[in-house]
Amino acid sequence: MSRPNCPNCHYPQNACLCANIQTMQIKPKLIILQDPSEVGHAKNSVRLMELVIANTQVVVGETADDFAGLREQLALSNKPVYLVYPSDNSVSANETQIAQDVVLLFLDGTWRKAYKLLQLNPWLQDYPALHLDLDSASNYTIRKASRSDSLSTLEAAAMMIKAIDNTQDVTPLTNALSAMVEQRLASMPAEVRARYR
């Protein structure tokens, strides 16, 4: 028998994060291209993003066909569209003037899955790519990453929002992530928790 979930945040009721959710309004439109393996992942930070920023759009898929509707939507948009992904062609969001009323595309998955999404969707290369200049490690300590510059999708979104508008308060996002991390750590046996500290 499965554990009952909170009807609002959809986390298990004993791990409900509603008390730590503070909503926020932003000018950029956030669209997440999510690898299917992330959808049911207990440590999925995109679920938190959707709670904090209600108009976050999540499109689950792998191939160009899966994203056909999104491609039509973007083609009809009159806003600049950027792909947030570090590459040889990406420019630093911290050193570029970007209008606040833009569409930001994020690839949600492990580095390997995000790279696969990029390879399966060459149409993404039509959009200018942005990367973040990282001056600190990820706070998403409960999920192992293969690269030192790894961020959760939520952290990348918070940093992008701040890079575009440094007056925007992004603590609702970072506080929600911190609450989830602490909640997960608290539920671990002490010897397991020690590995993440």
Q: Which among 64, 67, 118, 68 has a CA at the least distance from the CA of 90?
A: 118
Q: 149-181 pLDDT, tens per residue?
A: 468 899 999 999 999 998 999 999 999 998 887
Q: 59-85 pLDDT, tens per residue?
A: 999 999 999 999 999 999 999 999 999
Q: Which CATH number is 25-38+45-63+75-131+147-196 given?
A: 3.40.1280
- pLDDT of 190: 56
Rounded average pLDDT over 138-143:
41
Domain locations along the chain: 25-38+45-63+75-131+147-196
